[in-house]
Chain A
Amino acid sequence: MVSLFGDLDWGIVAEITLRSLKVSGLAAILASTIGIPVGVLLSLYNFTGREFLKSIFNTLLGIPTVVMGLFLYLLLAPKGPFGFLGLLYTEMGISLGQMLLVLPIVVSITATSIEQVSEEIYELALTLGASRAQAVVKVISEALPGIVLSSIAAFNRAVAELGIALMIGGNVFVYGGLANTRVLTTAIQMHVARGEIDVAIVLGLILLSVVFAISWIMNLVKKWL
């Protein structure tokens, strides 16, 4: 057997694992910050176009990451409409791209989980003399498991996707570089292309462990809340 860890530099592995956590963590936090209020809005308030908006978010749930990556690449390229932001081939670029990717997940799961508890509790809280704001808070706390799940799902999808990380991040890596963008998924893809399947498998296991660890921690947080 070829020595499994021979070509593996653990410093690099640590760096790209941390970057995956950071980049996709930020994406999930941002998507939750924006997506949870939107989900609440869509589920608790009646307004024209509500169903239409919901359908749009539900459709975007399954958007292929390469399609998303391609659109963003064309928008963010220096000669594209948003080129002036300088986001292409940066960590922040990946984060924002993944945020857009997972936003529909947060919105849809939040909205659905609120709808499942809202009817009675919202009305009940109001009849018991709560203000509208208090009633909304009550509904949200009842729907909390679903909302937390939406954030976990968002992170998992973000950290495991390849299309955006590759097209917006570019898999840049320089030893000791300060502007690298290589993350776990792009590294896996690269090592497969280079025929270093064993390295790719190790990185894949690390990716799985990261997803597992985050889900587990979030479950603890949910209980604590």
Chain B
Amino acid sequence: MARKIVILALAILVITFGLYFYEQNKRKELKILTISTTTSLYDTGFLDEVARIFKEKYGIEVHFIAKGTGAAINDAKLGVSDAILVHAKSKEEEFMREGYGVNRKIFAYNFFVIVGPKDDPAKIRGSSVVDAMKKIAEAGREGKAIWVSRGDLSGTNVKEIALWKAAGFDYEEIRKEKWFRETGAGMGQTLLYASNEKAYTLSDTGTYLRFKRAGKIDLEILVDRGEELINVYSIIVVNPEKGNENFDLAMKFEKWLVTDGQEVLRGFGRDEFGMPLFYPAVEVLEKKIEPYYSWIAKYGFINGSECPKEYRYRAEEYGIAFW
């Protein structure tokens, strides 16, 4: 019996190693592109559609790894991903300045919304963004309103910090106040929490519409106008000089995203939600469609360009131009 056990154990180990090498070989034959992405983009299902198209049309398996913008950037720095889809300009700039990212292209935009309970205790409905933030803080200090923050340094959280700053508040200071709650969780969880607590929060449109339609939350869009709320999504390819062996494939993906991908983007979510979840950004930049062009330029450009010259890398070989 002892011998049988040893043989069994050896067989198991041999099979495991066999499986390992089989898997590694299979992966070598497959064309796999790994892209770390912000959750707000992933959870709409748009990227599932993109992955399906790439598999069917080009035989390329695009692996989307959903994380917050901060974590996605970390992924890229560790050499995990070949490109990132993100929406936090300040972090993107840092990422490129450190030499990790190149060839940034803005491919989509939409608008954040400030949502809150129907009875709107802070009376922000229809206000400008800055006024709304001020009113919420005031009502909060009077104990009439609650604000919920993601607090996870995601793109949405970074936007929120900027909005507080524009309204004259220091995020680090007000986050200590009683009416200010942090979930440290994704947008969906944060919306559920805000709905339970009858609180205000900042949300991307995609997640809000999805949860609203499913009847999971009792919150309304109270402020959705204003250039400050623009949400600009961009793709950054990881620098081959930092060890990205998949640069070629990643650039082809970028090229697709800013050409054919724009049409997929335009149609996505229209049937389901009655409004598009994202707007294609390339034509706005090309034709300088106002006022969106100025807004993207103001909130999405780095030193007057979507990708300053020093951060470009052999993009002309792929027929990609920058604005």
Residue positions of A touching B, CB distance < 8 A: 2, 26, 29-30, 33, 37, 74, 77-80, 83, 86, 88-92, 133, 136-137, 170-179, 190, 192-197
Given A33-B13, A92-B19, verify A194-B27 contact (CB < 8 Å): no
B16-33: which have CB < 8 Å to A? Answer: 16, 19-20, 23-24, 26-27, 30, 32
Jot down 30 A-B pairs with beta carbons below 8 A, ordered by A. Answer: A26-B16, A30-B12, A33-B12, A78-B78, A78-B79, A79-B78, A79-B243, A86-B27, A88-B80, A89-B80, A92-B23, A133-B2, A170-B63, A172-B63, A172-B65, A173-B51, A174-B55, A176-B55, A177-B55, A178-B26, A179-B61, A179-B63, A190-B43, A192-B188, A193-B43, A195-B188, A195-B207, A195-B210, A195-B211, A195-B216
> Whole-angstrom distance between the alpha carbons of A196 and B34 in the complex?
25
| Cross-chain contact A193 with B188 (CB below 8 angstroms) | yes
| Cross-chain contact A170 with B65 (CB below 8 angstroms) | yes
| Cross-chain contact B214 with A179 (CB below 8 angstroms) | no
Residue positions of B touching A, CB distance < 8 A: 1-2, 8-9, 12-13, 16, 19-20, 23-24, 26-27, 30, 32, 34, 39, 43, 45, 48, 51-52, 54-56, 61-66, 77-80, 186-189, 207, 210-211, 214-216, 243
Q: Which of A2, A74, A88, A177 has the most CB of B within 10 A?
A: A177
CB distance from A157 to the nearest CB of B (A): 19
| Cross-chain contact B62 with A194 (CB below 8 angstroms) | no
CB distance from A44 to the nearest CB of B (A): 13
Q: Which residue of A lies closest to B54 (CB)?
A: A174
Given A78-B243, A80-B78, A133-B2, verify A194-B51 contact (CB < 8 Å): no
| Cross-chain contact B214 with A26 (CB below 8 angstroms) | no
CB distance from A214 to the nearest CB of B (A): 18
User: Quick one: which of B61, B80, B186 contacts A174, CB cutoff 8 A?
Assistant: B61
> Whole-angstrom distance between the alpha carbons of A177 and B54 in the complex?
10
**Chain A, interface SS category:** loop
Chain B residues near A90 (CB, 8 Å)? 23, 27
Chain B residues near A175 (CB, 8 Å)? 48, 51-52, 55-56
User: Quick one: which of A33, A83, A193 contacts B39, CB cutoff 8 A?
Assistant: A193
Q: Which residue of B lies closest to A80 (CB)?
A: B78
Once A and B bind, how many residue pairs between them come within 8 Å at the CB atom? 100
Given A172-B65, A174-B55, A175-B52, verify A89-B188 contact (CB < 8 Å): no
Given A83-B79, A178-B61, verify A194-B43 contact (CB < 8 Å): yes
> Whole-angstrom distance between the alpha carbons of A172 and B64 in the complex?
6
> Whole-angstrom distance between the alpha carbons of A174 and B30 in the complex?
13
| Cross-chain contact B9 with A33 (CB below 8 angstroms) | yes
User: Quick one: which of B2, B45, B243 contacts A194, CB cutoff 8 A?
Assistant: B45
**Chain B, interface SS category:** helix
| Cross-chain contact B43 with A89 (CB below 8 angstroms) | no
Q: Which residue of B lies closest to A197 (CB)?
A: B216
CB distance from B278 to the nearest CB of A (A): 16
> Whole-angstrom distance between the alpha carbons of A6 and B43 in the complex?
18
> Whole-angstrom distance between the alpha carbons of A173 and B8 in the complex?
34
| Cross-chain contact A195 with B61 (CB below 8 angstroms) | no
Chain A residues near B48 (CB, 8 Å)? 173, 175
Known A29-B12, A178-B61, A196-B214; further 5 A-B contacts with Cβ < 8 A: A30-B16, A37-B9, A79-B77, A175-B52, A195-B211
> Whole-angstrom distance between the alpha carbons of A200 and B28 in the complex?
33
> Whole-angstrom distance between the alpha carbons of A174 and B77 in the complex?
24
| Cross-chain contact A2 with B78 (CB below 8 angstroms) | no
CB distance from A152 to the nearest CB of B (A): 17
Chain A residues near B52 (CB, 8 Å)? 174-175
Chain A residues near B54 (CB, 8 Å)? 174
CB distance from B304 to the nearest CB of A (A): 33
| Cross-chain contact B63 with A86 (CB below 8 angstroms) | no
Q: Which residue of B lies closest to A30 (CB)?
A: B16
